[in-house]
Amino acid sequence: MCSTPIRTRGLRAAAHRHNPVRGANLVGHTRRRAVIPETTRSRATRPRVATLGEYAFDAERGFVPGEDPVDALPAFYAPWERLGRNVAALVMTGRMRPAVESMPVLTPDRLRSAGEQERAMLLLSCLANAYVWGAETPVDLLPAPVAQPLHALAQDLDRAPIAAHASMVLNNWRRIDAGEPLSMSNIDTQLTFLGGVDEKWFYLATVGVELAGAPGLPLLVQAQHAVAGEDHARLTEALSGIRSVVDRVTDAFLDVERWCDHYVFYHRIRSFLTGWSAPGLRFESP
């Protein structure tokens, strides 16, 4: 088995108190003003973000994928799909751990696209957290049927093998009506640990925050270019736009309370999103 734990005014006043000529006749003398370095002119020669094309960014959705997340894997991965679609029932009936332990050990090398990789990451990270936290006493060993493909896939994606924002939010939704645009009135989750509106809305409202903030990303890049080029007018324009976006993001963030009760989230849902206590979670190997 392998283990994967996963200012200058005060200085001037002080000098004045120790000045031996304090109180002397200074008529006819010109007091020299302290020279303060103008550090604000020290700017980067180029913006830190040259273009949003360097990132997984969509012009309309921001960091939310431009293509809807894959909602089913090829038949080879049916064991993952079967458990993933029944997590809530398996946790409720105490069958989660035996179900995971009885799965075959599959490799992620048959995943054919980035979308399928994200779907697999969502499934496996949910199964891992449900296995660890789905009973009264958490465990510190993740069995091979989940541990091995999750570890391999996380390495391929250059991410940690945990249930993270990229999986639980950015790639955990579907449009209710595929013929209508994505909106907060046309969205549902793909996977949840316990089901119910509180858990669903916690993830979906966070998608709403991402969508509300999407128009601000190009403005942030514009602001960096304006600073580097000392273009005050363009910077003012960008900052004004960013302010409006921040207002919309704040509204979207507060909207989480509409369907997600804080008591339910804290006492029922939060534990399934928890990481691992020291010394960490061990991943079973062949």
pLDDT digits (tens, 9 = 90+) for 140-181: 999 999 999 999 999 999 999 999 999 999 999 999 999 999
User: Quick one: pLDDT at residue 130?
Assistant: 97
- Read off the pLDDT band of 42 (50, 70, 90): low
Mean pLDDT on 59-69? 96
Least confident segment among 123-127, 216-220, 261-265, 276-280: 276-280
Mean pLDDT on 58-85? 97
Between these two residues, 237 and 29, which has the higher pLDDT value?
237
Mean pLDDT on 51-66? 91
User: Quick one: pLDDT at residue 159?
Assistant: 95
Mean pLDDT on 209-226? 96
Q: What is the 3-state secondary structure (H, E, C) of the chain?
A: CEECCCCHHHHHHHHHHCCCCCCCCCCCCCCCCCCCCCHHHCCCCCCCCCCHHHCCCECCCECCCCCCCCCCCCHHHHHHHHHHCCHHHHHHHCCHHHHHHCCCCCCHHHCCCHHHHHHHHHHHHHHHHHHHHCCCCCCCEECHHHHHHHHHHHHHHCCCCCCCHHHHHHCCCECCCCCCCCCCCCCECCCCCCCCHHHHHHHHHHHHHHHHHCCHHHHHHHHHHHHHCCCHHHHHHHHHHHHHHHHHHHHHHHHHHHCCCHHHHHHHHHHHHCCCCCCCCEECCC
- Read off the pLDDT band of 33 (50, 70, 90): low
Q: Are 98 and 91 in contact (CB under 8 A)?
A: no
Between these two residues, 47 and 225, which has the higher pLDDT value?
225
Neighbours of 215 (CB within 10 A): 17
- Residue 247: partners with Cβ closer than 8 Å, 6 or more residues away: none
Q: What percent of the chain has pLDDT over 90?
A: 77
What would the pLDDT profile of 85-96 be if each residue is shown by its tens digit?
999 999 999 999
User: Quick one: pLDDT at residue 286?
Assistant: 74
- Read off the pLDDT band of 264 (50, 70, 90): very high
